[in-house]
Structure 1
Amino acid sequence: MKAILLVIAIFFGIPIFACKCDTPTIKGSFESADFVFVGDVYDVNKTYFTAYWNVENVLSKVRVGKIYKSLSSDFKSKDVTFFGQQFNSCDFLFNKKDEYLIFAYIDPDTTFFYSELCLATKPLNQVSDEEFKLLEKLSKDYETQLSNSENTNPELSLVLRTPDKIINDLKRENRQVSDDNQTLKTYLIIVSLFFLVIIIFVILIRKKK
């Protein structure tokens, strides 16, 4: 009975849904994200979906402050809505009212914004002076690039941006699946060895009798 409980505990402890990615950097997050800005989360609404688990969904209203990057130069929105799901392990949930440096994507179907744990989104008071300086430089470089792209083709930046995002998402998902499979294999080996030891132990006891 104890062996069965141990096996159950081991399997339920496997972090299958953990988000796997490299430590996010300001530069990498800036290049990956569709939008980068300072945002004030002023309203948070949480809902829960109960199936086998209680899954937290968060709708957060964000007041847009300084903009460092957007898909087009005519982005003037003062308020945007972020949606995050606990079940999607990589979603960054804005479940606390505060000011943040936000790296974000936009869902074209819902027009909701979302951020990820694989981006360098964090409370504004955790952003260093060096990181602010880097953001200013990256922003100026991006504005120059965006201006040149829009002069050639107004939709060029968006067209070129979309495949990059899809590829990055697929790479992260593949890396997560690979890591999860490796973890699962390790646990299976441990469990198999455990049962093998138990079987050998039982056989030895019976022989002594």
Structure 2
Amino acid sequence: MKKQFLILITLLISTITFACSCDIPKPILEFESVDYVFKGKVVSKVYAIDSLNYTVTFEVFKHYKKGEKPKILEFTFTSEGEYTGEFTSCDWHVNKDEKWLVYAYYSNKKLIFSYYCSNSRRIENWNISKNEQRILDYGNSFKLENYIYQFENGFNITKPIANIDSIFKNGKIKNYINPYTRLELFIDKKGNLNFVTAGLNYEFKTDSIYNLKTEFKIKLKKQVTEFEQDAMELIRKMPKWEIKRHIETNLPVSHIRHLIIQFNKEKKEWRYEL
């Protein structure tokens, strides 16, 4: 019986982790996208007459984002499962007297914030890490278009303007020894392919405040194979790519795009994964 109980608990924890897991955006990118970033205390929590939702009132002690700086902000959330009768693995709630760091934004003219998939969170004794505090302090000076993006959320996924399938159909047919590689492409904010390199033959410079890439350089760390050379030759036939843009602001940015490329020896055909 005890073993069955432990198995059940393990499954429940796994379900919760899977259901609510997501990539939390880098603080500066969430800072850029939202309407308010503030530190405040919950001074009231009032349930609706039917108890299906509640409204919390924050007394704001510190606004970080430039613009309007209201002293009081209110948010309405769906009530806890004990009131609604609906329990999910992603339930979270806000209580009176809690202190929070909040990244808030308007959606359908309603001011909201999230807990999962956000940097919003409860903070004990007003403690914020030194790194995040620096980001908050310098956030209004941030220029999104000055950095290079790779895996960050909040941007469109780009494709080449040319027909990639047609280009790969005309790839060289050889008896490659190791017909597999991952290529890294540097594409500027105008959609121009500037560099392409294989494996880890590159390096970045990273900003010390926002932890974002500022410079991309090719640096040969291992010998490029014949297959990799031919793969890069194919990629150079796609000099123009869709422009990568920040979804919230529509600003164009430079970015790193990677492709996995392989050659099927039996079918004698090139394959790729964007």
TM-score range, shorter chain: 0.3 to 0.5
Question: Structure 1 or 2: larger helix share?
Answer: 1
The structure, 1 or 2, with the larger RCO (C-alpha pairs under 8 Å, 6+ apart) is 1
User: Which protein has the bigger strand share?
Assistant: 2
**Structure 1 length as normaliser, TM-score?**
0.47
Largest Rg, 1 or 2: 2
